[in-house]
Amino acid sequence: MTPLKYLTTLICFVFIAIRAASGEVRNEFGEVGGEVSFGSTSLNPSVSSIIWKHRSSTGPVVKAIEWDPAEDPDVSIPNPRFKDITTLNEKTGEITITNLTVEHSGFYTIDINSKEQEQRFSLTVMAPVPKPVIKIEKIEMNPNAVNLKCEYNETIIWKNSAGETLKGSPHTPKGELITAEKKGNPDVFYTCTLKNAVSESTSDPVYERDLFEESGLWWIALIVIPVLILALFVLLYKFWTKSHRKQYNLASEGNKMKEDAVSPDQKNVYKNGISDATQR
């Protein structure tokens, strides 16, 4: 073998030895304030004791929960960090921790009959993601497009109203952005979803009608408003003219009816009276 092949073989043997010594590690995730369960699914009936141990990244190894019916038939919780929030299933060996905090993160091992098992558990307790807010940035050189920003350190998912997943670009110092172009449909919208191993949250939709200014409305208003005023004036004028003409016709008809009610003899007397008065 060449020296390179010897070195490659040696590295492989070392890797296998380390993995065998360390045992299998299973990753578990929990949400702050939530609950998590992990461990064996079944145990040999001859189990006489179970001890779960915890080791954080900075602290020493501590006992999280212990069951030894030979000494005490009840389950004991030696460490205050796990008091009142930790339970053990003696039949399966499964441990359950509630009201999780970041301090519960770390490695967990289980001793059965005073022998540490090969399988280990890595618990990561994370805060739930916040509800994202999409920030809008105008593009000076392009009034028909805007940048939408979503700030977060982990997974960001952009979608549009058609349900399509959009590819975002990295945004400094954190997060992603997409460029939304004007489609001419005010009901088109975009959402941003934040996601980590324990939770996800989606923003309120941002609609196209809120992203772009309708610059053409001002000249439309300049035309429409005067037309409406003129139309209103014409209607008022027609109404006034019609009303005035109706009143004039009613007055004329009233005068004519009065004249028709006077007899010819009365008209002659009236005229003669006027003539006599003039001569006098």
Picking from 113, 156, 118, the residue whose alpha carbon sits closest to that of residue 135 is: 156
> Pick the residue with more confidence: 180 or 20?
180
Neighbouring-strand partners of residue 53:
63, 109
Type of residue found at 234: V
Mean pLDDT check: name the lowest of 56-65, 69-78, 250-259: 250-259
Picking from 150, 144, 157, 147, the residue whose alpha carbon sits closest to that of residue 174 is: 150
Residue found by looking up tokens 């492989």 in the block: 12
Residue found by looking up tokens 């016709």 in the block: 249
Question: pTM (2 decimals)?
Answer: 0.63
The 10s digit of each residue's pLDDT in 174-193 is: 999 999 999 999 999 999 99
Domain boundaries for CATH 2.60.40.10 within the chain? 24-126
Whether omega before 173 lies within 30 degrees of 0, making that bond cis, reads: yes
Assess whether pLDDT exceeds 50 at residue 7. Answer: no
Mean pLDDT check: name the lowest of 185-189, 229-233, 244-248: 244-248
Domain 135-210, classified CATH 2.60.40, yes or no: yes
Picking from 78, 73, 95, 75, the residue whose alpha carbon sits closest to that of residue 86 is: 95
pLDDT at 128: 95
pLDDT at 218: 47
For residues 62 and 83, is the Cβ–Cβ distance under 8 A? no
Assess whether pLDDT exceeds 90 at residue 88. Answer: yes
pLDDT at 276: 54
Percent residues over pLDDT 90 in the chain: 54
The 10s digit of each residue's pLDDT in 104-132 is: 999 999 999 999 998 899 999 999 999 99
Domain 24-126, classified CATH 3.90.1150.10, yes or no: no
pLDDT at 261: 58
CA dist 196 and 153 (Å) reads 10
> Pick the residue with more confidence: 257 or 185?
185
CA dist 246 and 236 (Å) reads 15
Percent residues over pLDDT 70 in the chain: 74
pLDDT at 262: 53
pLDDT at 5: 34
Picking from 236, 189, 223, the residue whose alpha carbon sits closest to that of residue 208 is: 189
Q: Nearest 5°: phi and psi at 202? A: -115, 140
Dump strand ranges (E) for 127-167.
135-138, 145-150, 155-160, 165-166
pLDDT at 211: 93
Binned at pLDDT 50, 70 and 90, residue 16 comes out as very low
